[in-house]
Structure 1
Amino acid sequence: MALPPIVVSIFRLIAAGLLIVYVQQLIIPLVALYLIYKRRAGRQSLQKFKKKKEMTEQSSEVIVPYSGFVQITRLPAEVLTKIACYLTIGDLVNLEQTSRFFRDVVNDDELWKAKVIQAYRTQGYKIADELKQIKPDYPWRVIYAAMSLQWQFYCADEGWGVIWKRPEYWWTSATPDSKFGKTLSLENRVVWWLHVFRSVFVAPGTYRLIWGLQIRPRARSIQNVEFSVRVADNEHLDDKGRPTRLLLSSTMLGREATGAIIESGSWVEVEMAEIVIPAAASAENAWQMILLEAKETGPVVKSGLNLDYARLERVDGQGKFDGIKITPYNEVTGNQLLLSRLARVPRLGSNGNDDGMEQKIAFEQVRRELADLVNKFEASSGLVY
């Protein structure tokens, strides 16, 4: 039997009310849980933001964004000295002129002491240190400069071997243009066998071979003279049991350069070649024994050549040099003049304090003292032959 419509309507209203009550009891807790979760998530996000901000502020106090030249002055002195060790002499001279700060960096004694060790290794440092003990008032900068000028060998010195050194061929003559005061002169006398040579000890490194010479107007066959550098090759011995010599560099002047020297009518410096002298295999000493030579033994007469010196000028880190460069003595502005600017020490007042003045060191005296030390080293090594 069907229920009356009014009863059905009442049942529907009761069911709808029960459903509404049930949904309210279920939904309200879920909404509350959702709101609590959102609130906690918001707090955590805010805490993360604050922590990140604090870390950013702390790091900004330690790391200052690079803003240019001024920042390098904040580096420790040890770091600046280490960096400066990799600069060439020309770079250091230019750096010195930029500011008072860098002038102090370049004049630091520890820098030049490190440069001596870097350039001339252990044996060179021993020689330089001995000179420092003899002359404690010489800064290491001056000693480095003197070491750089050490490998200049005057041909009128007794250390050279000369074939046919007798009055009718080669002889030693007074020459005002030479710093040594004397030169090895052939003038217009003739020889068939031209050979001038010297064995020397040199620190490993990159050098430029420079000869100081003069060619007379009536010179004969000088364009064919070979100016060479050889190093002892201990792995190969000659018939007398001595090391053979490995050629490092060989240069001939040629007609054009010879003509230019004659036309100059004066003593000139001739830059001939760039040489890399390797370190010796000895664990005790890295210096190498090398042979400097001027030689021409062809079947023609030679005359008109005068020799002042041979120099190995250290050029580590400088630009590559190719070809021949001729410079009259009165125009020489190379490494010697540059390094002579470094030969300055403070002049102390009567009270022992630096009065700000400077005195120039007698540079030739420093060079001679170093030469004496090197000669002692060569004599005691037993390697000169």
Structure 2
Amino acid sequence: MKVLVTGAAGFIGFHVVSKLLNAGHFVVGFDNLNKYYSTQLKYDRLAQTGILKHKVLNNVEVQSETYSNYFFIKMDLCQKEAVVQLFETHKFDIVIHLAAQAGVRYSIQNPEIYLKSNVDGFLNILEACRQNPVKHLVYASSSSVYGNHKKVPFSVKHKVDTPISLYAATKKSNELMAHTYSHLFKIPTTGLRFFTVYGPWGRPDMAPSLFTDAIINNKPIKIFNNGKMKRDFTYVDDIVKGIIGISKHPPVAKNKKPPYVLHNVGNSKPIKLMAFIKALENNLNIKAKKMFLPMQPGDVKRTFANVTSLKKAIGYKPTTSLNDGVKAFVDWYVDYFAEKNTKNLEKEIQEN
């Protein structure tokens, strides 16, 4: 298959690209490499797939040094003409759209960025798919669309008309926009509502990284809602399994319904936040200092995925236990940042 992965330098995007490349698919990745969090982490992810930082230029395709079947381009979703041109050039079979402005709390202070990237940018992807038909558009939605839904586990059959953050509202908008294009132009679209993803190469603004950094540096970790939170923590390999698995099964129009579907992708086993912290402590062999705080605006108290529809579609079954997943994450985190600190020290010695 010829696959486009947007957000290819992101946490989930990097893992999806790696899996596709190792399976022998031709992949084009793009990412705007914005500064929402460390661009160096994004470049380091790219380096794992053979894309070297010094070769990356705006709107110029770079071929991987490791994989002959991988090309990367630094480009923004909002560059409509460039996006459409990319589609015209490559004639993609499948588009896996993961690029977005992430972060629930950040959306409260910076709403304009979310509308531009998550709504305008997604419209450009839909338009490119309309002008250059693809076999399947798979796009990232989010468990945040459920808000504080009372009924659990969260099901794609539940109404999600009451988002409690702008980030969630943009993701719900994506689902509505995809439905419209599936209806009008028969584009097969699948929206995936991801539940709290963690693992190696994870985002530094997410709880696993924030907690781990604080614990290692003997600083208190901020625990909101006084620790009375549950999250459907899902290891990144299980998320990727769902993404790539469903990408091979585009929805089909039937009974006057468009080729449009939604799935939850989660572990379907909510874990108490304090249990996750305990797993971090055990793997780091350090006791965390804890600062208990009230609930934050935009946060939800619990997430719990009903993955029945994805299981029925592709036999989806997450297999990574919490202990195994946290160990893999902690091992990567310690190695990665220890190496960074060593490099910084070497640089200081050379300069002095």
- Asked whether the two chains share a fold, i.e. TM above 0.5, the reply is no
Q: Which has the larger radius of gyration?
A: 1
Q: Say which structure is richer in strand.
A: 1
Shorter-chain TM-score: what band? under 0.3
